Amino acid sequence: MSSKKNTRALGRGLDAILKSPETDITAHDISGNFVVGAIAEIELKKIETNPFQPRTEFDEMQLRELAESIKSQGIIQPVTVRKLGYDKYQLISGERRFRASKLAGLEKIPCYIRLANDEQMLEMALIENIHRQDLNALEVAISYQRLIDELKITQEKLSEKVGKNRSTITNFLRLLKLPAEVQVALRDDLISMGHARALLGVGDTATQIKLLKQIIDKGLSVRQTENIVRSLNKEAHETSSKTSENVLDEKYKKATEILSSKFGTKVALRKRSDGKGNLVISFKNDQDLDRILELLK
């Protein structure tokens, strides 16, 4: 398969991959009971899970609820598998349905059968997961990063593959820069993506974690969190400026004292770290200004 054709198919999402003539190989057969391209009932014991599955945690309660639904309604949407060899299959997508079917006590499950190499498997699993509605923000971010790392592509190329704006992808990837405590809170739905993005605006890890505890303990909204971050950054900037000025004032304190004594008025000296600054000589009125100007002559 050419890389150009592969990219075009992936850009349309998982459904396009599965329906594409480049991956829907109905004319091929591998030794076993079922041909590639068929929909068949396959025994669960003959299907192994996908090692490329980016999702590592499944809600136990939701799985049990899905299992009850399967018991009464059956499997409405088949899972997708690839054929590995004689009566041996591997999941491409549908692991929740696969797990729930086991809980429901089923022995067989309906499956779409496809051929796919390892790279295609990873792409299929990740792209399908990215488009799921029940994924949390951290799982999406990890899936994006894995696609970038495994396929060695840029964010721009990734946006084409998954059909998402590059800015959206960037915002998700930034979440992976947060400290582990914040990422765990996001994974466990203790905070939202809005909270996490606000925390990205905090300068240091210790403050991020401290604010995280406040969000959880006090139930702060995203807007409240953003306001706190703005306030913290403003205070930090003002403190930094004052500290810098105070240090410089101490260094040149003697000079200002001499000038104040010479002119008989208040003299202020401010010098920035880049060497620039200003010297301010105060005066009370026009006569006082004339007096100072005479002294300067």
Q: What are 152-187's pLDDT values in tens digits?
A: 889 998 898 888 899 999 999 999 889 888 988 998
Residue 95 designated active-site: yes
Q: What is the pLDDT of residue 187?
A: 85
Alpha helices in 152-221 (DSSP H): 155-162, 166-174, 180-187, 193-199, 205-218
Please state whether beta strands 108-114 and 267-271 pair in parallel, antiparallel, or not at all (unpaired): unpaired
Domains of the chain and any CATH numbers: 24-115 (3.90.1530.10), 190-238 (no CATH), 252-296 (no CATH)
The residue annotated as part of the active site, out of 22, 95, 226, 245, is 95
**pLDDT at position 68 over 70:** yes
* Angstrom distance (rounded) from CA 82 to CA 115: 5
Q: How high does pLDDT run on average in the chain? A: 77
CB 67 within 8 A of CB 104: yes
Residue 164: φ, ψ to 5°: -120, 150
* Residue 3 binned pLDDT confidence (cut-offs 50, 70, 90): very low
pLDDT tens profile 216-228: 999 999 999 999 9
pTM assigned to the model: 0.49
**pLDDT at position 263 over 90:** no
